[in-house]
């Protein structure tokens, strides 16, 4: 390949059809569409509505919303100054802050709570690796204006429903981890205990932990440094500082999950990567993707509306990394519905095209997927293309068939079968036959 060819930015990938050969193992667009269709089906059953927010937001939105002393804000955001007006702008690193900004700006909760979801590209400047990219795509789901533990539990059960629809087995392919971060006053007491504990073991802290010791000690618990794991495991846990209301909220969530037969592990070190969380937090994790074990995570963030200048409103939600999840499905070799057309139209001669297209359009109007051969070629070459398409039938528009007002229907799967004729003028009548065959 010429050195003059422009290439995608490292860590920002093309999502291509499965028919396009590529060296990497990134999910193809057919798998992507199947996932999106499954998401739409599941979320609609729970009453969630779709929305879109801008890819570019004010930098201050994420500094104020995520926390100034977080890895995302400190190290990972793509930010710049707009040359036209001097505004500081950022490619969104996550979706929740932008959704809450939109709700505040449009007073969207005026008529009551909302259940919302979106899918879009997010951006973080980090080292690309398997399941972790600089441009990645996320499913984001938010229940806004609901204060009770019932919605926390329903949200988690909805994710379980999504796993089931995608073919993932809970407990085998993915598992649930759960924690409560309590309320700000409880976290403050815990924060003071953490600072005292880590100060007493200052010689064991790495540079990142020392820098965060007084600004955000909770983030130290999320360290990936193996040398600090024993120290972190022995640190005071937030659960020991929770009051009666926070514990009651957490117990109510667990009671619903228990009643639904959903197994989980209470992980008292689970803190998530953003500062806006309170009360329930959760992650769905897997052992199948190496160090990139989290495929879905979220929790409650009741203070974010007020933090971003709006009226106080309770909220809970989650984000799901699409590339990472689809890689998991590929790694497991789970069955994915075939996106092949129902039929492939083989057109013997150019003069057959007008009548062939009328029949093809009539079949498409009945909901059938019919791929038409284009570009000419021998019958043998066209049948080879028909077979490669994965279609269940070939529709053969040959001269002899057209002279009789017919099209030949040739089965292509399960060993093929006898060819038969169908009337061109009555395609709608036999479309159902093709659909059910």
Tens of pLDDT along the chain (437 residues) come to: 567 888 888 989 888 888 787 777 788 888 999 999 999 999 999 999 999 999 999 999 999 888 776 778 888 999 999 998 999 999 999 999 999 999 999 999 999 999 999 999 999 998 887 778 899 999 999 999 999 999 999 999 999 999 999 999 999 999 999 999 999 899 889 889 999 999 999 889 998 888 888 888 877 887 888 889 999 889 998 888 999 999 999 999 999 999 999 999 999 888 776 668 899 999 999 998 876 689 999 999 999 999 999 999 999 999 999 999 999 999 999 988 877 899 999 998 888 899 999 999 999 999 999 999 988 888 899 999 999 888 999 999 999 899 999 999 999 987 777 889 999 988 888 898 888 87
Other beta carbons within 10 angstroms of residue 387's beta carbon come to: 14
Q: Are 319 and 138 in contact (CB under 8 A)?
A: yes
DSSP string, 375-414: S---HHHHHHHHHHTT-SEEEEE-HHHHHTTEEEEEE-ST
Other beta carbons within 10 angstroms of residue 85's beta carbon come to: 7
Distance CA 284, CA 155 (A): 12
Which pLDDT score is estimated for 219? 78
Name 56's bridge partners.
91
Which pLDDT score is estimated for 72? 83
Q: How far is C-alpha 260 from the chain's CA centre?
A: 24
C-alpha gyration radius of the chain: 27
Residue from 174, 144, 147 nearest 159 by CA = 174
Q: Are 292 and 130 in contact (CB under 8 A)?
A: yes
Q: What residues have CB less than 8 Å from 419, skipping those under 6 apart?
A: 396, 408, 409, 410
Which pLDDT score is estimated for 2? 62
Q: Buried (b) or exposed (e) across 211-247, using 16+ Cβ within 10 A?
A: ebbeebbbbbbbbeeeebeebbeebbbbbebbeeebe
Distance CA 96, CA 141 (A): 8
Token pair of 294 as six digits: 């989290």
Q: What residues have CB less than 8 Å from 6, skipping those under 6 apart?
A: none
Query: Which helix (H) or strand (E) element contains residue 16?
Result: none
According to DSSP, residue 74 is labeled I
For the whole model, what pTM was predicted?
A: 0.86
Compute the residue count for the chain: 437
Specify the 3-state DSSP secondary structure of 145.
Answer: coil
Distance CA 35, CA 52 (A): 18
Distance CA 159, CA 156 (A): 5
Helical residues (DSSP H) of 320-378, grouped into ranges: 322-332, 353-365
Q: Which domains, and CATH codes, for the chain?
A: 29-182+242-332 (3.30.930.10), 343-436 (3.40.50.800)
Q: Buried (b) or exposed (e) across 157-180, using 16+ Cβ within 10 A?
A: ebbbebbeebebebeebbbbbbbb
Distance CA 46, CA 142 (A): 12
Q: Are 295 and 321 in contact (CB under 8 A)?
A: yes
Which pLDDT score is estimated for 1? 55
Residue from 318, 342, 339 nearest 157 by CA = 318
Terminal-residue alpha carbon distance, the chain: 45
Q: What is the greatest pairwise CA distance in the chain? A: 93
Other beta carbons within 10 angstroms of residue 84's beta carbon come to: 6
Which pLDDT score is estimated for 51? 97
Token pair of 350 as six digits: 């150019």
According to DSSP, residue 219 is labeled G
Residue from 182, 197, 394 nearest 268 by CA = 182
- Long-range contacts, 164-171 (Cβ 8 Å, 24+): 165/38, 165/41, 165/42, 166/35, 166/38, 166/325, 166/329, 166/334, 167/329, 167/334, 167/335, 168/328, 168/329, 168/332, 168/334, 170/262, 170/263, 171/263
Specify the 3-state DSSP secondary structure of 283.
Answer: strand
Place of tokens 């007493």: 200
Which pLDDT score is estimated for 189? 92
């Amino acid at each position: 390949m010429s050195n003059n060819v422009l290439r995608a930015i490292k860590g920002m990938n093309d999502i291509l059809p499965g028919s396009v050969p590529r060296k990497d193992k990134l999910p193809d667009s057919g798998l992507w569409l199947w996932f999106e269709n499954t998401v739409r089906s599941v979320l609609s059953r729970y009453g969630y509505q779709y929305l879109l927010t801008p890819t570019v937001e004010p930098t201050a939105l994420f500094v104020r919303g995520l926390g100034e002393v977080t890895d995302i804000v400190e190290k990972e955001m793509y930010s710049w100054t707009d040359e036209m007006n001097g505004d500081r702008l950022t490619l969104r690193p996550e979706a929740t802050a932008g959704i809450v900004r939109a709700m505040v700006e449009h007073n969207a909760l005026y008529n009551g709570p909302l259940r919302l979801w979106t899918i879009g590209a997010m951006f973080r400047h980090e080292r690309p690796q398997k399941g972790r990219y600089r441009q990645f795509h996320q499913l984001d789901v938010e229940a806004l204006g609901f204060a009770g533990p019932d919605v926390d539990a329903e949200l988690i059960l909805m994710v379980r429903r999504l796993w089931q629809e995608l073919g993932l087995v809970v407990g085998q392919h993915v598992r649930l981890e759960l924690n409560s971060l309590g309320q700000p006053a409880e976290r403050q007491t815990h924060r003071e205990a953490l600072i005292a504990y880590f100060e007493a073991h200052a010689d064991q802290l790495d540079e990142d932990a020392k820098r965060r010791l007084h600004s955000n000690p909770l983030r130290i618990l999320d360290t990936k440094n193996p040398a600090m794991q024993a120290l972190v495991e022995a640190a005071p846990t937030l659960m020991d500082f929770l009051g009666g209301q926070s514990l009651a909220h957490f117990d109510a969530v667990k009671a619903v999950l228990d009643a639904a037969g959903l197994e989980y592990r209470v992980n008292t070190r689970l803190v998530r990567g953003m500062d806006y969380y309170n009360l329930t937090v959760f992650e769905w994790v897997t052992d199948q993707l190496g160090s990139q074990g989290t495929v879905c995570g979220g929790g409650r963030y009741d203070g974010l509306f007020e933090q971003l200048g709006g009226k106080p409103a309770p909220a809970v939600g989650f984000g799901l990394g699409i590339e990472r999840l689809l890689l998991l499905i590929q790694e497991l070799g789970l069955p994915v519905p075939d996106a092949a057309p129902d039929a492939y139209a083989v057109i013997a001669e150019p003069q057959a095209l007008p009548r062939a297209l009328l029949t093809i359009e009539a079949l498409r109007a009945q909901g059938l997927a019919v791929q038409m051969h284009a570009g000419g070629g021998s019958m043998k070459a066209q049948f080879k293309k028909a077979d490669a398409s994965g279609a269940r039938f070939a529709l053969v528009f040959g001269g002899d068939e057209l002279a009789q007002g017919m099209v030949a229907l040739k089965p292509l799967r399960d060993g093929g079968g006898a060819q038969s004729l169908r009337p061109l003028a009555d395609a709608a009548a036999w479309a159902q036959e093709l659909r059910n065959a």
